[in-house]
Amino acid sequence: MIAHYNRYHNAIASGYMNEITGRINQQYNKADNFLQLGKSNKALTEENEKLRNLLPGNFHQQDTVNKIVKDSIPYDTLGHRRVWQYKAAKVVSNSVTAQNNYIVLGRGSNQQLQKDAGVIDPLNGVVGIVTEVSPNFAVVMSLLHKDSRISAKLKNGGDAGQVIWDGLQPNRLQLIDIKKSAKVAKGDTILTSGFTTTFPYGMIIGTVDEVRPDKGSSNYIIFLKSAANFYNLQYVYSIENLQKDEINQLLEKTKAKSAGH
C-alpha cells in the first residue's frame, strides 16, 4: 500500500522489481542461448559442408581432347570434374587416453559415408581415417592410434615422410623418414602429401615441436603438435575421393601383370 499510494516509494519499488526481473531474464537468456548453441553449431557445420564442396581445389580440369564417353561424375561450372566430396558428421564418441584410440561418428552408409575416407576437423586439421561403417554410424581410426600411418610433407622444402603416434602423449605425433639433409625447424608446418587416395594435398597435420638427429640412422626424429584438438572434437568432415576406385583397380591390374611376369 505504501508503494502504491506514495510516488517516492512507488518509484523505488518499481526500480527494485525491474532490477530483479532484468536479472532473471538475463539468466533465462543465457540458458536459452546455451541450449540453442548446439543447433547453431549443427547448422553452421552443414553450411560449411556445402561451401567446402564448392571450392575449386575439389575439382580437376577434364581433358576433353580425347573424350569418348560423358563421365557421370558431377562437374563444376567450368567443366572441371569433381574429385573430393566433403560430408559433415557429428562426433558421438571419442577416446584419447588408450594406446589405440577411435572416434565414432553419427553418420553412416545410409548417409553416404564410406570406408577409407579421410577425416578432418573444421579447421582442416587431420583427425584420422574411417575404418568401419554401419548404416548410421562410422568408426574412425584416430591419428592417436599406434597403427596409424599418414603420408606427409614438410610445407617448406617438400620432403616426404610418414606421421605416426608413439602412444605416449595425446596431441603429440612423430614425423619419420625425413633425412638429415632436409631443412626443418621448430614451427614448420606438416601437411598431407597428396600421395594417397585418402587425403588431398595440403590438409594440416601439425607443426614441428622438436627436431632430434637419430644417432642410429641418417634420419631426423621429429615431434609434432597435432593441428586437431582431440580433446574437443564436436563436428568433423569426411573427405571422399571419387576417383579412388578407379585408381585402385588400375593399381591392382598393374600388380597382377607384374606377378604374372
Per-residue pLDDT tens over the stretch 68-99: 233 344 555 555 677 889 999 999 999 999 99
The yes-or-no verdict on residue 51 having pLDDT over 50 is yes
The reported pLDDT for the residue numbered 96 is 94
| pLDDT classification of 252: cutoffs 50, 70, 90 | confident
The reported pLDDT for the residue numbered 8 is 47
Q: Which amino acid is at 112?
A: Q
The yes-or-no verdict on residue 133 having pLDDT over 90 is yes
Nearest residue to 200 via CA among 171, 243, 254: 243
Q: Residue 141 in contact with residue 102, Cβ under 8 Å?
A: yes
The reported pLDDT for the residue numbered 37 is 54
Instruction: Return all residues near 168 (Cβ < 8 A) that are at least 6 apart.
Output: none
Return the minimum-mean-pLDDT range out of 36-40, 49-53, 60-64. 60-64
| pLDDT classification of 10: cutoffs 50, 70, 90 | low
| Residue 116, phi-psi category: left (phi > 0), alpha (psi -120 to 50), beta (remainder) | left
For range 43-72, the mean pLDDT = 49
Q: What percent of the chain has pLDDT over 70?
A: 69
Q: Which amino acid is at 224?
A: L
- Rounded to whole angstroms, the Cα distance separating 119 from 128 reads 5
- Rounded to whole angstroms, the Cα distance separating 88 from 29 reads 29
Report the 3 state secondary structure along 3-28.
HHHCHHHHHHHHHHHHHHHHHHHHHH
The reported pLDDT for the residue numbered 188 is 97
- Rounded to whole angstroms, the Cα distance separating 5 from 12 reads 13
Nearest residue to 206 via CA among 186, 185, 226, 223: 226
- Rounded to whole angstroms, the Cα distance separating 170 from 98 reads 9
| pLDDT classification of 26: cutoffs 50, 70, 90 | low
Q: What is the model's pTM?
A: 0.70
Between residues 23 and 123, the one the model is more confident about = 123
Torsion of CA 130, 133, 136, 141, to 10 degrees: -30
Which three cell numbers, joined as nine digits, stand for 242?
Answer: 571419387
pLDDT tens digits for 183-241? 999 999 999 999 998 999 999 999 999 999 988 899 999 999 999 999 999 999 999 98
